[in-house]
Each structure stands twice: as C-alpha cells, then as structure tokens.
Amino acid sequence: MSIAPRKPPLQFALRLKRALGGKTGWNGFAAQIAFAAILAWIAYEIVANARTNLETQHIASGFGFLNYNAGFDVNQSLIAYNNSDTYWRVFFVGLLNTILVSVIGIVFATVIGFIVALCRLSPNGVLSRIGGIYVEIVRNLPVLFQILFWYLAVLAALPAPRQSISIFSTFFLNNRGLIVPLPVSEPGLYPFLAALAAGIVVALGLRHHARRILFQRGHMIRIWPYVLGCLVGLPLASMLIFGWPFKLELPQLKGFNFAGGARIIPEFVALTVALSTYTGAFIAEIVRAGVMSVHKGQMEAGSSLGLSRAATLRLIVVPQAMRVIVPPLTSQYLNLTKNSSLAVAIGYPDLVSVFAGTAVSQTGQAIEIIAMTMGVYLLLSLTTSALMSIYGWRINRSMAA
C-alpha cells in the first residue's frame, strides 16, 4: 500500500483568499464585510439626517449658488473684483490671496530659518545662544497667539499716518499698513524683460556647457565673466536703448493720508511677519539637524583631498545635508500654507476668511463651501506628498547606485 502524495492546494483559491482578506484569510474577509456594513450604515445616517435638516432649514443643496452675486467687498484682491461679482470670483480672490501670503511667507521663512540656523551652528557662543533662545520662544507659543500679537499689539501701537515711521523716506509704516513705492511700467519694460530672459537662458546654457567640458575632458573653464555679462550687460544695454523699464512712484504724505505708492494692508503685514518668524524657527531646527547629520569625517576627508573649506561645504556637505533637509522643509512649507488659513482671525481676506467665512454666513451652503475649501488644501498637500515620494525615490536610487 503506497501513500498517495497530498495534492497541493488550489493556487487560485489561495490567491482569491489573499486578495479578499489579506493575511487573515476568510476571517479578514468577514471582518471587511462587517466593516463595510457599518460604514454604509453611518453614511446612510449622515445623508438621511443632512437631507432632513437641510429641508427643515430651507437650504437648497448644490453648487448653483456659485453663480449668484456675492454682494460683499473684499479689502485686498489681486484680480479685479467688486461686490456684484459671483461667488466663483470670491473663491478665486480668496485662493489668490492665500497663495500670495503663502509664497511671500515661505520666502521670508526660508531666509529667517537659514540665518537662525547659521547662528545656531556658528562657533560663536553668543550668536548660537541667541539663535537657541529665539527658536525656543517662538516654537513654544501658538501661531495664532503670534498673529494676534503682531496685529493687535504691535501694529495697533503704530502711529497714525501723519506720524508714520519713515524708512529712508520710501517706506512708511503706520497703523493703516505699510506704504511702499509702486513700480509703474514704462515703454522700456518689455525689451528689458526680454533681455533679462535671454541673459538667463544664455547663462544656463554656458553653465551646462562648462559642466560637460569638466566631466568629459576634466578641464575647468572660466565662465563667470560671460555669465555676469549676460545677466547684467544685456538688461543694461536694453535700458540704454529703450529707456527705464519702470519708475518707482514714491508715496507722499498729503493731508491725512498718503498719495501714490501702494498700501500693504496691516492684516497682510501681521500675517506674513507671524507666519515667517514662526515657520522660520522650525526651518532653523531642520537645517541645523540636516547639517549636523553629515558626518564629521566627510569634512575631514574633503580637506585631506586638498579641497578648500568653501569647496568642501559646497561640494560635499551641502548636497548630503540637503537630502536630509528637503523632505521636512517641504512639510514646513505646507504647514505655513495651512497656517495661513488663520487669516480668518484677523480678517485678512484669504480663502478660509472670505469663502468659508463670509460666503458661508451669507448663503448657508456650509457643506458645499467647506468641502471645496478642504478640497483645495487637500489637493495641495496630496500633490506635495506625491512630489516628495518621487524625490525620496530618486534619492534612494542615487544612493543605491
């Protein structure tokens, strides 16, 4: 009597089991069904309740309201807007204002962050302590607290327009905001921009060429005089031929207010200052951690190869530090953008303030408007995290190579 070998189990059934229930098999499948049933029940409850509640409050759901007239004013707008425009336009006005304050905040935050990080890394004892104290104080206070501090305490304590604080007689700071010179375009603007663009393109081409020569033949060629010539000389030549690209309209005190120049509203100033100092402190810590993550031996190896300190930093330390710095830095940029929604506390007309604030209270379309607002931020952060995973993947690949 021979023992018949057992048949192997059916691969198809196993695969199906795995696809439907993961490692736990049919138990997992049953758990999923139960979970789906609970989710369906919750979703049903939400939809049913929302429908009844909206009916009792006489609110028509749907996105039709976006074409109605908004009927309220917005005190800062990058695109033409008046109170007879639609809610669509309000949406875009708010979105552009959010983007504006985020971009400017990101620029300042990066500058502040790198400066503070340099202070903290500096061998000088006083500077590194000052940097450390700045970071500790700013990081341990809520960002809304700081926004309100700048808006309600500092900016409100500024003098009236007639006693403005003047900076070189071009910038004026008072309790109505910051008055800056306004660039007004002249006929020479377009040739100037074209010359600048051409200069940048040629300079990039030169750099590319120089790198190719370096990698192929090992020759260092000197290109910086030509680059400088393209970047400065071309625009200069265009200015000589076509005249000034723009002139600055200086603000002047006339009566009780300023004529000429552009006024930056105090809400914008407070929000930008608070967001960039707050995020700057976080960026400083990220940069410091990134630089310190590069092993000391790297620097020593660079010097033993005969590279100068600057060259070692530029070619060896910074590229390695950047790998550590970039992912958290991006998430800080994202945080700054999300924190810019706190504009609603001081009335800066960003997306949340004008759209999810004023528009909701006027139309009562809470579900649609808040979903749209959340959608905008969600899209932004999902895009960023997708870009970051591509970056991480490329870094991993280059490290493996």
For the CB of residue 293, give the shortest distance to another protein in the complex, in Å.
16
With CB under 8 A as the rule, give the number of residues binding another protein: 66
SS3 246: strand
Q: Give the interface segment with another protein, choosing from 75-83, 173-181, 249-257, 344-352 (CB under 8 A).
A: 344-352
Give the count of beta carbons closer than 10 Å to the beta carbon of residue 320.
15
For the CB of residue 76, give the shortest distance to another protein in the complex, in Å.
19
Beta strands at 182-185 and 246-249: parallel, antiparallel or unpaired: antiparallel
* Nearer residue to another protein within complex by CB, 250 or 289: 289
Looking at the DSSP bridge assignments, the partners of residue 253 are 258
Among 95, 206, 318, 360, binds another protein (CB under 8 A): 360
For the CB of residue 376, give the shortest distance to another protein in the complex, in Å.
9
3-state helix, strand, coil in the chain (%, to 5): 70, 5, 20
Q: Give the interface segment with another protein, choosing from 22-30, 241-249, 266-274, 292-300 (CB under 8 A).
A: 22-30
* Nearer residue to another protein within complex by CB, 122 or 308: 122
Among 14, 22, 62, 82, binds another protein (CB under 8 A): 22
- State how far the alpha carbon of 275 is from the alpha carbons of 65, 138, 325, in Å: 33, 11, 20
Q: Give the interface segment with another protein, choosing from 23-31, 175-183, 210-218, 311-319 (CB under 8 A).
A: 23-31
Among 39, 160, 184, 197, binds another protein (CB under 8 A): 39
* Nearer residue to another protein within complex by CB, 50 or 221: 50
Which residues inside 40-99 make contact with another protein, applying CB under 8 A?
A: 41, 44-46, 48-50, 52-54, 56
Q: Give the interface segment with another protein, choosing from 34-42, 77-85, 165-173, 216-224 (CB under 8 A).
A: 34-42
DSSP state of 67: G
The single-letter code of the amino acid at 323 is: R
* Nearer residue to another protein within complex by CB, 50 or 305: 50
165 binds another protein (CB under 8 A): no
Which residues inside 375-394 make contact with another protein, applying CB under 8 A?
A: 377-378, 380-382, 385
Closest C-alpha to 282, from 149, 141, 184: 141
For the CB of residue 318, give the shortest distance to another protein in the complex, in Å.
21
For the CB of residue 44, give the shortest distance to another protein in the complex, in Å.
5
Question: How many whole angstroms separate alpha carbon 307 and alpha carbon 37?
Answer: 66
Question: How many whole angstroms separate alpha carbon 309 and alpha carbon 177?
Answer: 45
Which residues inside 117-146 make contact with another protein, applying CB under 8 A?
A: 122-127, 130, 136-137, 139-145
User: What does the block give as tokens for 400?
Assistant: 């493996």
Closest C-alpha to 364, from 92, 58, 51: 58
279 binds another protein (CB under 8 A): no
Give the count of beta carbons closer than 10 Å to the beta carbon of residue 294.
19
User: What does the block give as tokens for 92?
Assistant: 């875009």
Is the Cβ–Cβ distance between 270 and 203 less than 8 Å? no
Question: How many whole angstroms separate alpha carbon 48 and alpha carbon 161?
Answer: 56
DSSP calls for 263-311: EEPHHHHHHHHHHHHHHHHHHHHHHHHHHHHS-HHHHHHHHHTT--HHH
DSSP calls for 92-117: HHHHHHHHHHHHHHHHHHHHHHHHHH
Which residues inside 300-339 make contact with another protein, applying CB under 8 A?
A: 338-339
For the CB of residue 396, give the shortest distance to another protein in the complex, in Å.
17
Q: Give the interface segment with another protein, choosing from 31-39, 194-202, 269-277, 288-296 (CB under 8 A).
A: 31-39
Which residues sit at the interface with another protein, rule CB under 8 A? 19-24, 28-29, 31-32, 35-36, 39, 41, 44-46, 48-50, 52-54, 56, 122-127, 130, 136-137, 139-145, 148-149, 152-153, 156-157, 338-339, 341-342, 344-345, 352, 356, 360, 366-367, 370, 373-374, 377-378, 380-382, 385
